Chain A
Amino acid sequence: MSTILETRGLTRTFGAVVAAKDLNVQIAQGEIVGVIGSNGAGKTTFINMVTGYLPPSSGDILFDGNSVIGRQPRAITRMGMARSFQVAQLFPKLTVMENALVSLVAAEGPRPSFFRPLDTPERRERADAIFAEFGVSRYRDALVSTVPQGARKLVDIAMALVSQPRMLLLDEPTSGVSIEEKFALMDTVMAVVRQHGVTVLFVEHDMEIVARYVTRIMAFYSGEIIADGPPREVLSDARVQELVIGHHLDINALGEAA
């Protein structure tokens, strides 16, 4: 399969802190990659660099063979790489429907019309279809600020998918979500993602979740990738268990990668 995302010697320092150290990553189309690592290991820095929020100190990032260095996040989004956020980034004083309508307009082009209404039956229909996919239809007309955390995370991810990206980066999709809801949320997201054939990279703390959904794990430790491979292999790696997970992990007790 062809490579969709590649980083070459990607490095980022904050003063004396090295948040990313010579990262060379290749992700093939269709992979579902889990990124693990303790806080400050450089996971979010990695996502922020790849999506153009943070310029790397050195190195290159290729999406589909094209360098994204120096491009604004909006340009990278338009290339087909979307992301979600640790804390859902929505429009809190607009309704869920209005949030979706704005995403749909954005997906149509970089210059929204001065005259054509935002709210058209066609867009509403599409938004409704998306809500149905993500199981958030009942929050349709609620203000985002009144919607529960789990649904907010789903809407956040749904908005990223509206532009029909080929790659999706999820920054801790289950953070802030109750333990009972976590698996339901991931089941929903993964079902949608698979249906659309999107390549996914996601950061996650919960090893059970990682083990269940990914085809590959990259383990970060102080800005470096200390292990990269199939979940079973990485999770049983002695260094990963010591430095990332912090205790011995019985991998047989975890769910298998789907």
Chain B
Amino acid sequence: MSSFLAILIDGAIYASWLFLVAAGLTIIYGVMRVLNMAHGSFYAIGAYSAASLVGWYFSGEQQGSPYWSYALLVGCALVAGAIVGIAIEQGLLRFLHGRDEILMVIVTYALLLILEDATKLLWGVDPYFAWQPYRLLGQTAVGEGLRFANYDLALIAVSILIGLAAWFALNRTNKGRLLRAVIHDREIAVAMGVNVNAMFAATFAIGAVLGALAGALTAPAISVTPGIGVEVIVLAFAVVVVGGLGSIGGAAAGAVLVGLSRSFAVHVAPEVELFVIYGVMFLVLAIRPQGLFGQTLARRI
């Protein structure tokens, strides 16, 4: 029983993390039809800037409350994500709107390679640690012998909050409705006077901020080293492909499915952990090629 609970809670934690990582990716794809490989770099940049800033905050003689470090995490994700996102969108992607999807995969792959080394130049290759915000919240005992870090549990709340905020923004605000119009039919949206370029820039910035936020919130729980972005991107792909590319609800469902499957594997058969994630992806696509929440369009002849 307790192991069942452990699988469930571990799964929920992992799923919420996956959702954080995948949300930005799926939003960008949904609006811009860009499957953004550089999303992993946004994650890494968020993690690095958070880890270095939090490390600096705790290393000095600051008198401030340690709880301010949470504001730092979120704050630097917002700033770093927005800067990098807008720079890339305005500096490069703007000129490639409407190009072939697979070409955009290759373009963003090039961006990933460039950003990978850029982060190494900025932060070096030594690991960064920012464990303080993680420890600060303590642990909670669940049942016998089961303890979970409160930070991890809080992550579940945060990702639910982000999911709800994204849903609200898309469905209950005017800007969000416009965005959905763009997603639904770009040409008609342009004809109706929607400024698609501004929409794209904003979308890409939001997606980048979400990616950076995922990294920043993960930073306290890991050691931040080169290559974390490259590892994360394929997981995020798996989640959004399972859920259906471009759908927020799909990303959530994909995250839950993949998260629970992995947690089950970790507890029951740890040797198939990685296998399970992609196995789930493969299975879902074999049965529903467009993903759980995806839509297919038939070609007219």
Contacts and interface: CB of A to CB of B under 8 A. Distances in A.
A48 B301 CA distance: 9
Contacts, number: 6
A217 B265 CA distance: 66
A52 to B, nearest CB: 12
Contacts of A86: 301
A55 B301 CA distance: 15
Contacts of B301: 48, 53, 85-87, 89
B102 to A, nearest CB: 16
Interface in A42-99: 48, 53, 85-87, 89
B299 to A, nearest CB: 10
A133 to B, nearest CB: 25
Contacts of A87: 301
A86 B299 CA distance: 13
Interface string B275-301: 000000000000000000000000001
Interface residues of A, number: 6
A188 to B, nearest CB: 23
A86 B300 CA distance: 10
A53 B301 CA distance: 9
Contacts of A48: 301
B85 to A, nearest CB: 35
Interface string A86-122: 1101000000000000000000000000000000000
A89 B301 CA distance: 8
Nearest to A51: B301
A87 B299 CA distance: 12
A175 B225 CA distance: 61
A170 B301 CA distance: 12
A186 to B, nearest CB: 21
Nearest to A89: B301
Nearest to A47: B301
A85 B301 CA distance: 7
A161 B301 CA distance: 19
A44 to B, nearest CB: 8
Interface in B87-111: none
A87 B301 CA distance: 7
A53 B300 CA distance: 10
Interface string A132-147: 0000000000000000
B298 to A, nearest CB: 9
Contacts of A89: 301
A153 to B, nearest CB: 14
A246 to B, nearest CB: 24
A77 to B, nearest CB: 14
A210 to B, nearest CB: 22
A86 B301 CA distance: 7
B296 to A, nearest CB: 15
Nearest to B299: A53
A88 B220 CA distance: 59
A116 to B, nearest CB: 31
A32 to B, nearest CB: 23
A85 B300 CA distance: 11
Interface string B26-41: 0000000000000000
A203 to B, nearest CB: 13
A125 B301 CA distance: 31
A35 B233 CA distance: 54
A15 to B, nearest CB: 14
A48 B300 CA distance: 10
6 contacts: A48-B301, A53-B301, A85-B301, A86-B301, A87-B301, A89-B301
* 6 interchain residue pairs of minimum CB distance: A85-B301, A53-B301, A89-B301, A86-B301, A48-B301, A87-B301
